[in-house]
Amino acid sequence: MTFEAGTPPEAAATDDHVLATWLAEEAGRRLLEVRTQGLEGKELKDAGDAAAHELLVALLAEHRPDDAVLSEEAAEKSADKAHRLSADAVWIVDPLDGTREFSEPPRDDWAVHVALWERTPDGEHEGELTAGAVAQPALGETFNTGQPPVVAPWTSERPRIAVSRSRPPAFVQKLAQEIDAELVPMGSAGVKVMSVVRDVTDAYVHAGGQFEWDSAAPVAVAQAAGLFTSRIDGSPLLYNQDDVYLPDLIVCRPELAEQILDFVERHGVTSAG
């Protein structure tokens, strides 16, 4: 079966928010199709990674040919890196975030990330995330910066913290004990960030190692929704860097930011999921 991408909305030609959303949704459709092909385990993981990556790279080459692309699924060559670091616009994509969850149908806690980083013309900052979309195809939902999500008023009696279901979150367990929080396990970094946007959780705190593509699109959407985002020490999250390793982050309701940062300052970080 040959997958054919749909026609992008007319606005995608000039509106990066619209394009990011369409790209994430098209990759999501492709991944849902891959899930129907009878593959299992590693074969399904590999097929999903490859199919979504190939589609996103091809569509970006067609619709934004002058922009650079940073993708988890592509080994970055020296020439690609030089182009990315000098470019004014870089698309940072994770074609399949939550590969393990994707390979375990009918799990829905996996996502597609598409973000745009642009160099700031005023020279005050190197660059910033200007558009982003996170698709959760198995839920039929896409969150984007063009129509930022409205975060509901706080509904939980206790703070809820999204954590990895596969790695022991020792640091987060200590944080949860201090602020009397409930831990909510789930897969995919993007799904964890979107859980804060969706009022499924109130915070996602990670210090166990990530890369730019793991958080760029989710952070763009979270910022557009008015959530607090930072490194674990409170410093800004920076993208399109020479070293794309971005090991930690905090995404939370603004009301929780001070408590979390204070805990980190007093106790440090050993590991987080």
Residue 273 inside a domain? The answer is no
Tokens read off for 125? 């900052």
Q: CATH number, domain at 114?
A: 3.30.540.10
| Average pLDDT of every residue of the chain | 92
Residues 165 and 242 in one domain: yes
The CA distance from 177 to 148, in Å, is 32
Residue 184 inside a domain? The answer is yes
Residues 189 and 215 in one domain: yes
- Say if residue 142's pLDDT is above 50: yes
Strand partners, 94: 113
| Structural domain span for residue 134 | 10-144
Residue 3 inside a domain? The answer is no
pTM over 0.85: yes
Identify the band that residue 272 occupies on the pLDDT scale cut at 50, 70 and 90: very low
Residues 98 and 192 in one domain: no
Q: What is the pLDDT of residue 273?
A: 45
Least confident piece of the model among 6-10, 52-56, 120-124, 192-196: 120-124
State which amino acid sits at residue 88. D
Strand partners, 133: 114, 144
Mean of pLDDT values over 235-248: 95
Residues 183 and 108 in one domain: no
Tokens read off for 190? 């993007």
Look at the chain and count its residues.
273
Residues 122 and 167 in one domain: no
Mean of pLDDT values over 55-79: 92
Mean of pLDDT values over 90-99: 97
- Say if residue 28's pLDDT is above 50: yes
Q: Work out the angle at residue 167's Cα, subtended by the Cα atoms of residues 166 and 170, and round it to the nearest 5 degrees.
A: 145
Mean of pLDDT values over 222-251: 96
Q: Is the dihedral of CA 215, 218, 224, 230 positive or negative?
A: negative
Q: What is the pLDDT of residue 13?
A: 94
Domain count, the chain: 2
Q: What is the pLDDT of residue 123?
A: 55
The CA distance from 101 to 178, in Å, is 30
Residues 140 and 15 in one domain: yes
Residue 1 inside a domain? The answer is no
Identify the band that residue 1 occupies on the pLDDT scale cut at 50, 70 and 90: low
Q: What is the pLDDT of residue 271?
A: 45
Instruction: Name the maximum alpha-carbon separation found in the chain.
Output: 56
Q: Of 144, 170, 193, which one is at a domain's C-terminal end? A: 144
Residues 225 and 116 in one domain: no
Residues 140 and 20 in one domain: yes
Mean of pLDDT values over 102-117: 96
Q: CATH number, domain at 216?
A: 3.40.190.80
pLDDT, tens only, 159-206: 999 998 766 468 888 999 999 999 999 989 999 999 999 999 999 999
Segments of the chain assigned E as strands: 68-71, 89-97, 111-119, 127-136, 141-144, 160-164, 182-186, 203-206, 228-230, 249-252
The CA distance from 253 to 201, in Å, is 9
Residues 80 and 15 in one domain: yes
The CA distance from 166 to 186, in Å, is 9
Residues 103 and 39 in one domain: yes
Nearest Cα to Cα of residue 89 among 142, 21, 18, 16: 16
Residue 41 inside a domain? The answer is yes
Residue 151 inside a domain? The answer is no
Q: Of 114, 144, 174, which one is at a domain's C-terminal end? A: 144
Residues 39 and 121 in one domain: yes
Nearest Cα to Cα of residue 181 among 253, 269, 241: 253
Phi, psi at 83, each rounded to 5°: -65, -45
Residues 72 and 186 in one domain: no
Residue 181 inside a domain? The answer is yes
Identify the band that residue 270 occupies on the pLDDT scale cut at 50, 70 and 90: low
Residues 60 and 69: beta-carbon distance below 8 Å: yes
Residue 131 inside a domain? The answer is yes
The CA distance from 3 to 15, in Å, is 25
For the chain, percent of residues with pLDDT exceeding 70: 95
- Say if residue 23's pLDDT is above 60: yes
Looking only at the bridges linking them, the beta strands covering 111-119 and 127-136 are antiparallel
